[in-house]
Structure 1
Amino acid sequence: MIVVADNNCDPKSLQHALGKGAIEYEKFLESGDPEFGWKPPEDEWQSIALGYTSGTTSSPKGVVLHHRGAYLMALSNPIIWGMGEGAVYLWTLPMFHCNGWCFPWSLAAICGTSICLRQVTAKVVYSAIANLGVNYFCAAPVVLNTIANAPKNESIHPLPRVVHVMTAGATPPPSVLSAMSQRGFRVTHTYGLSETYGPSTVCAWKPEWDSLSPAEQIRLNSRQGVRYVGLEGLDVIDTKSKSPVPADGKAVGEIVFRGNVVMKGYLKNPEANQEAFSGGWFHSGDIGVKHPDGYIEIKDRSKDIIISGGENISSVEVENILYQHPVVFEVSVVARPDEKWGESPCAFVTLKSDADDSDKQRLADDIMKFGRSKMPAYWVPKSVIFGPLPKTATGKIQKHVLRSKAKEMGPVKKSRL
């Protein structure tokens, strides 16, 4: 069943859409044949969908998915998340983003209800929770940030029921996870790519974590975790030797996948396929570590590592610290050319709506001072730029655009130390 949560759509906008070839959902259902006899594919390896990567680091590539993977992921999602029959699911996640992480198929499998939004805002999310019985939704970290920072007149506290939230993509800043928990949401952290049908690892909660401090719980829950039930192989391998890195939480390598919830390949792109499947693994391009308990943790995208004076800096770890600053709403850190160090961190920052931005230089200095109190000196951004961050249609920050902007700004001068 599909329900439209926002019925205040402008009639003129609706008529315009219909005039352009759109069709109302109920009319679409009426066009179906109730006597149609469904037949399974002759081969589970047959293609079921073609989606495109969002292009956050390079040009988008066509990802070809197969029936077997879609079926396994459709059932893995409810099993991993504990979704029972009749779950009420809110769509803040775009359905075109990796087929909605396979949740359209998952909801069909459990006879769930899909609540669709015309626009994702904190106000309508809280309204759907209050009025439509929503108890599950998936959202990128950028959406969680918006919900966590919603003003009192647009939010609900306490929530009328436990609302389960699955988030994936970039590691949610610990400050955002903490704020969501304080508002009553139960956040499950997952990780995956378009090439793995969406989330394919989960930071499974351990009962012994219940007795830990809130700060320690947040730290553990921000990891990418262990493999989904539908995924056969997951590891972190040394980028040179291709051997698994030790599970010490320190040795860095590339996260790799293997199994039935990995794509068939990129459409008409043999060179990309050869690189992606080198050595019999699917190579994610994400750099991470493996902890003694077997949980993996992303440190950065391989292209986002900043090399300053020969030292590797994780942009993600710098971002997580800067998110703790009281005026920072969003932040993305990339490499900027540096006359002395080769590269140095450059922070692009969006301020919270109530921040006093009358003196940008004072704010920039304060953010850098805050950084010096929380991280190694060579991690601290030497430049802070304010403004909205470029994003893809799925809400991911386009770091390649920011890297280009940082390069255009020219190198940091030696005097700026």
Structure 2
Amino acid sequence: MPSALPEGDPAPADGALPLSVVSGAGQRGFGVYVHVPYCRVRCGYCDFNTYTASELGGGASQAGYAREAAAELSFGAKTMREVGLPERKVSTVFFGGGTPTLLPATDLSFILGRIKEEWGLENDAEVTTEANPDSVDEEYLRTLADAGFTRVSFGMQSAVPHVLRVLDRTHTPERVPLVVEWARNVGLQVSLDLIYGTPGESLADWEQSIDAALACEPDHISAYALIVESGTKLAAQIRRGEIAEPDDDLHAEMYELADRKFGAAGFEWYEISNWSRSLSTRSRHNLAYWTGEDWWGAGPGAHSHIGGLRWWNVKHPRAYSERIAAGVSPAHAREELSEYAQHSERVLLETRIVDGLAIEVLDDTEREAVPSLIADGLIDGRAALGSSGSTPRIVPTLRGRLLADTVINRILR
């Protein structure tokens, strides 16, 4: 089942934002995330806030979801205007889930239309939806492209049937090249999501998946290590001894293999789990998360962040629907991040990306970690010393990417 929401301060029913969010807003980008909490089948490893038809119960309907999400977006735009935030067009939109493409393409287009009406889109806005390979056809993708979508991220996960079975994925490996071709035919950029370290997956299995993904010639690839989340079906299977627990050493071998093969194929890493063919095919929406920009998250369980204020919506679609119908904020709770919390999150996130973290933002004690991180091969020495006149930055090496928590802990000790 989905994981629990974090604790926080009570969120006001009228959604009112504190004046503090206005400071510096003109220098921050603004994006929108739309959470679509529906799946045809719950994957055994997943603890995201998603629901199958049998889990929804009464009072929640996929058919009415597009209108509810659009209503929240209008509520959000009104709330932002009332606190005095400057007008900013949306630079990125991301539909995630769940499986957004379980909704009709016209529903996703309708929600995007509401975003355009309330805030407007930048001329070069990036508009992405996640999709399962078996949830779309070419006509569906054409409808999205015609509505203004620019990018689709397919949950490929693996090209090996026995791995897909362990993950409870419903598509076949043969489906992926088809959907990539259809997306290209209608002018969409393509990202493929992979998972490595599934119980029973060998290094050879993983290499087969890498090769299959590269053969599709996507614009972008994400590769995530499988994390066994408590409360999931997979965690229960491991606890009962039905499936072997993932091996950390094998995870590291798999990551190194992926990085090597992606690099040889012309992809460059720009975040620990993400590779792209060029600057223009990086996920700008995810980069906005990693660099602390603003976004409004709509939908059950969606998180938002504006100017150091973070809040999250009620989880269940029924509770969400009831609040939208009542015209009140669907936010469950919120927190105003302290200056130290914002600093810690900046260190946590910017040390994961190729552009790195400017050393000048660290205090004197934190900077003391830099020489030993260089000596241990965890960060790039030339970047840290500001070679060629560039700003000194902390950029992880391959070893540093594998030991990212160590890098962060030694800076923030």
Q: Return the structure number with greater strand share.
A: 1
Normalising by structure 2, report the TM-score: 0.27
